[in-house]
């Protein structure tokens, strides 16, 4: 719903124009694994068939979605596209999920001060929100902007995984997926 409102906010009276043919959505925390986040946002918009794209990740997921719009416009595949990024993290950051670990860490902050800071940061610094941008092949409006380039390079081949969710970092550096955990292991975590 946050993403839908951001998209509708781009247009007069919230009315999606019929020449909008691409919707690219980025989020780190979709409400469900399937169907895709873009499919869910498109369903909420309830407008008409269009090409959709979902990007997922952490910090750059919105820029990945923007690059999809930009590249498609440059290639002449679409004339008008919307990039929308949204996060709804608050349901996952409810204190009851973190109280036991938080209390254990704060009873003895010298034991793991990094963990204490990390839990506070994650719970109080991240927030819910959404934003959208219209990308098109011609300038329009009172203050049109031009994208000169969108460039991003992954160094995942060189650096260890630093942020993860629904997984656990193993001693050998491999991430163990939530799909590999037994019910007892999930209960313990």
Cα separations in angstroms, 105 against 6, 95, 100, 110, 113? 38, 14, 9, 8, 8
Residues 67 and 48 in one domain: yes
Element holding 25 (H helix, E strand): strand 22-27
Q: What is the pLDDT of residue 114?
A: 65
Q: Is the pLDDT of residue 126 over 80?
A: no
* Tens-place pLDDT, residues 170-188: 999 899 999 999 988 877 7
Domain total for the chain?
3
Which pLDDT belongs to residue 118? 67
Report strand pairing: 167-169 vs 22-27. unpaired
Over residues 7-58, the pLDDT tens digits come to 999 999 999 999 999 999 999 989 888 999 999 999 999 999 999 999 998 8
* pLDDT(98) > 80: no
Whether residues 3 and 83 fall in one domain: yes
Question: Do 169 and 97 share a structural domain?
Answer: no
Quote the domain boundaries for residue 188. 158-189
24 and 96 part of one domain: no
pTM: 0.84
pLDDT digit string (tens) for 108-120? 666 666 666 666 6
Residue 100 neighbours by CB under 8 Å, 6+ apart: none
Using only C-alpha atoms, the chain has a radius of gyration, in whole angstroms, of 20
Q: Are 32 and 50 in the same domain?
A: yes
> Are 164 and 112 in a shared domain?
no
Same-domain pairing of 103 and 64: no
Residues 80, 43, single domain; the answer is yes
How much is the pLDDT for 188? 76
Task: Identify the pLDDT of residue 182.
Answer: 92
Q: Is the pLDDT of residue 146 over 70?
A: yes
50 contacts 9 by C-beta, under 8 angstroms: no
The CATH number of whichever domain residue 144 belongs to comes to: 3.40.47.10
Is the same domain home to 63 and 109? no
Of all residues in the chain, the percent with pLDDT exceeding 70 is: 85
Average pLDDT on 78-97 reads: 87
Q: Are residues 5 and 49 in the same domain?
A: yes
Average pLDDT of every residue of the chain: 88
DSSP 64-115: HHHHHHHHHHHTTS-SEEEEEEEE--GGGG-GGGTHHHHHHHHHSTTT-HHH
List the Cα angle 49/55/59 in 5-degree steps.
145
Same domain? 178 vs 140: no
Confidence of residue 90 (pLDDT cuts 50, 70, 90): confident
149-161: pLDDT as tens digits: 999 999 989 998 8
My answer on whether 187 and 164 are in the same domain is: yes
């Amino acid at each position: 719903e946050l993403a839908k409102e951001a998209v509708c906010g781009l247009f007069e009276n919230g009315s999606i124009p019929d020449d909008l043919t691409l919707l690219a959505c980025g989020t780190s925390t979709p409400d469900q694994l399937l169907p895709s986040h873009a499919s869910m946002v498109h369903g909420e918009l309830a407008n008409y068939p269009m090409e959709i794209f979902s990007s997922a990740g952490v910090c750059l997921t919105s820029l990945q979605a923007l690059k999809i719009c930009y590249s498609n416009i440059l290639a002449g595949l679409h004339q008008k596209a919307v990039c929308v990024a949204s996060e709804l993290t608050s349901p996952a950051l409810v204190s009851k999920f973190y109280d036991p670990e938080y209390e254990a860490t704060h009873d003895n902050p010298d034991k793991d001060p990094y963990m204490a800071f990390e839990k506070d940061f994650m719970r109080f610094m991240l927030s819910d929100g959404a934003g959208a941008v219209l990308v098109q092949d011609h300038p329009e409006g009172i203050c049109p902007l031009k994208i000169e380039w969108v460039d991003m390079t992954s160094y995942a081949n060189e650096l260890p995984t630093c942020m993860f969710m629904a997984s656990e970092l193993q001693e050998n550096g491999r991430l163990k997926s939530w799909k590999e955990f037994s019910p007892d292991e999930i209960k313990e975590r």
